[in-house]
Amino acid sequence: MTSVSVITSPDDLVGAVSRDRRMMGYRVRRQGDGWIELEVVAQRTRVPVLLVLAWPEVWRDEEQLRPHLVRARSGNYGLILVGTDPELEAARMEAMSTDADMTAVAAPIGMVRLLLTLRTRAETITQRMTSAMIELELERSRHENDMLISIGRALSQERDIKSLLAIILRRACEVTNADAGSVYIVKNADEDVSKRVLRFEVSQNDSRTLPAGNMEMKVSSTSIVGQCVLSGTRINVPDLYALDEPGTGNNSWGFIHDRTFDDKNRYQTRSVLAVPMISARADVIGVIQLINKRAKGWIQLDLPGDFEAGVVPFDDVSEAYVSTLASQAGIALENVLLYEEVKTLFDGFVKAAVTAIESRDPTTSGHSERVAKLTIGLARAINHAETGRYREVRFTRDDLTQIEYAALLHDFGKVGVREHILVKAKKLYEHERELILQRFQLIKRGYKIEGLETKVRYLMEASRDAIAEQLSAIDRSLADRVTEVDDIIKFVLAANEPTVLEQGGFERIAEIARMTYRDEGDRAGPFLTAEEASSLQIRRGSLTEQERLEINSHVVHSFNFLCQIPWSRALRDVPVIAGAHHEKLDGTGYPKQLKGEEIPVGAKMMAIADIYDALTAKDRPYKKAMPAEKALDILASDVKRGQLDADLYEVFLNNRVWALTSVDR
């Protein structure tokens, strides 16, 4: 059977491969005179192992040898130089001293030695290729691992649902090279899956600009995402345009391809991969739907031909990537949904608490919400500031939430203030005012009685001629005294009105308080009691010192109340911020008389918002609504006095933050 036992020429080798059974594992190709390529048929590698034998007449020619040397540096190629020792010795050493896979056999060569050489070369090359592949595989899984860890990290840090879903979708498109995609959330945690609703939350399309928007649809088996929810498994449709009628052929799912979107946008939804996001409780809580896997890199899918040529089905690797991503995303999404649920619950509680406290004092209704709106508005304006002392301050989302809670609950401590003080509108309580007015009526009556008594005395004693003149003198004196009391009443009622700014001129109150009258039992009594006089002498607002202290104690109550709440790390400063909203930069505030930098910036912002709202609100007890310009002037004078932060006020003023609540009143 063996016809050639010694190979001396390329022809011998070609003949041996076709005739010698021992060469069955090789396929032969002539590469021109003197070059024989042998492809190793039985091998473990995906890429064929190629062995090239070169005879001296060709390998001595450097020009001819060079391309083979280059190829012999690649993984699957081995070069075997055939020649005698003297021929090989005469070869140029530069050609030999390369890193190419190269060996030499002396001609003539016996079949056994040739086969052994070929086998050794093939084995070496196969091993090298296998280890390179393992290395590549390792590198890929390392990369995959890194990618998934980085995705996992990004997902676990995101608490805003829209941003989270956008990250999930972007990463899913990246790892699969999908042209487009959407993420859906399953709404309604109904036991009956078919009663659940899918809400389209985010979408991405590299080839078309799509309008943003939300859309809801019933979970139905006729849609791919619906089926994905119902089955809880991933669905891979290679080409939606090649799908048979629902329920037949390759469309056993029963999908109905609604082409409205495609027609409207000159788009073709060809390959589709839908992967469910599953919660820890094994519920499908969302779906990642990817559309049109691009065959190569980033290509724009514009014309119909682009879809035909450029889109391929999602392969196993894509499925595996997206499934891993979806399982991570499912956990992250569930966390975010739970977080939102808890937040909604807590927000509801805060709102209810605010409503409860404001219902004790209807005149401050809406104050807390407006202060929160103004303070957050100011913080956001600072986030955009490019100049000024706060240009580098940036409040994170958590910071803003913290400030918002502090602002909403800043006056919650008013629960600890007695209601009659809380709603006190004038310097005197209503019953005090009534008492004073009745007293003055009594005084006037007393004067009248005194006048009548005097008249009677005269009538009894005086001569007839003098009577008329005397009586009219008594009437004049009486009228003067009654007028004086009426003036006093007017003055007292005017003094009872509270003022926003400090006011003096209360010496007359002291004078009035020193005046006395005689009551029915002829006992002397003061026009105004000491307490009444001191109330009427309140220089600003409507509260006495004692009452002011009680009102001021609300900040301490707010702080103590808020300390009871186990705030998360990100919100732990809520009590401190709320508890410092009445502190002033110059240390004249309360309750701790903090100064400058001792006051948290959130509290400094809130102080501006709080004063502004107190001044401009329609119905504060001690004053009427004030125009914005005047309120801003008052804030400016507080800034000038060193009580409010000048830079914050500037941002509040220049960014028209103050106008944010003008519609709320």
**If 0-12 CB within 10 Å is exposed, 13-18 middle and 19+ buried, where does residue 293 land?**
buried
Region near Fe ion per CB under 5 A, out of 288-296, 316-324, 608-616, 655-663? 608-616
Cβ 411 to Fe ion shortest distance, Å:
4
Enter the tokens of residue 213: 């928007």
Closest to Fe ion by CB, 34 or 413 = 413
Backbone angles phi, psi at 178, to 5 degrees: -80, 145
Cβ 622 to Fe ion shortest distance, Å:
14
Closest to Fe ion by CB, 491 or 590 = 590
Bridge partners (DSSP) of residue 314 are none
d(CA 646, CA 603): 14
Closest to Fe ion by CB, 168 or 580 = 580
Cβ 427 to Fe ion shortest distance, Å:
21
- Angle 78-80-84 from CA coordinates, rounded to 5°: 165
Region near Fe ion per CB under 5 A, out of 199-207, 473-481, 484-492, 605-613? 605-613
Closest to Fe ion by CB, 547 or 610 = 610
Region near Fe ion per CB under 5 A, out of 148-156, 261-269, 406-414, 533-541? 406-414
| DSSP 3-state of 484 | helix
**Nearest alpha-carbon partner for 275 in 265, 262, 264, 284:** 284
Region near Fe ion per CB under 5 A, out of 208-216, 304-312, 430-438, 606-614? 606-614
Cβ 551 to Fe ion shortest distance, Å:
8
Q: By CB under 5 A, tell whether 369 contacts Fe ion.
A: no
CA dihedral angle for residue 212, residue 216, residue 217, residue 218, rounded to 10 degrees: 160
Footprint of Fe ion on residues 270-289 (CB under 5 A)? Answer: none
Closest to Fe ion by CB, 165 or 350 = 350
Closest to Fe ion by CB, 158 or 610 = 610
Cβ 581 to Fe ion shortest distance, Å:
6
> Which amino acid is present at 97?
S
The residue count for binding Fe ion (CB under 5 A) is 2
Cβ 600 to Fe ion shortest distance, Å:
15
Region near Fe ion per CB under 5 A, out of 245-253, 405-413, 501-509, 657-665? 405-413
Cβ 561 to Fe ion shortest distance, Å:
13
CB contact set of 462 (below 8 Å; sequence gap of 6+): 470
What is the number of alpha carbons within 13 Å of residue 70 lying toward its C-beta? 5
Cβ 404 to Fe ion shortest distance, Å:
14
Number of Cβ atoms within 10 Å of the Cβ of 523: 9
Closest to Fe ion by CB, 411 or 573 = 411
Q: By CB under 5 A, tell whether 610 contacts Fe ion.
A: yes
Q: Tell me the pairing of strands 77-82 and 102-105.
A: parallel
Bridge partners (DSSP) of residue 37 are 29, 52
Cβ 327 to Fe ion shortest distance, Å:
48
Closest to Fe ion by CB, 163 or 553 = 553
- Can you tell me which residue has the tokens 């629960």? 415
Enter the tokens of residue 375: 């303070």
The DSSP secondary-structure symbol of 48 reads: P
Among 411, 573, 583, 638, binds Fe ion (CB under 5 A): 411
What is the number of alpha carbons within 13 Å of residue 315 lying toward its C-beta? 8
Q: By CB under 5 A, tell whether 101 contacts Fe ion.
A: no
Closest to Fe ion by CB, 326 or 354 = 354
Region near Fe ion per CB under 5 A, out of 239-247, 322-330, 607-615, 638-646? 607-615
- Can you tell me which residue has the tokens 């020649």? 83
Closest to Fe ion by CB, 199 or 557 = 557
**If 0-12 CB within 10 Å is exposed, 13-18 middle and 19+ buried, where does residue 543 land?**
buried
Interface residues toward Fe ion, by CB under 5 A: 411, 610
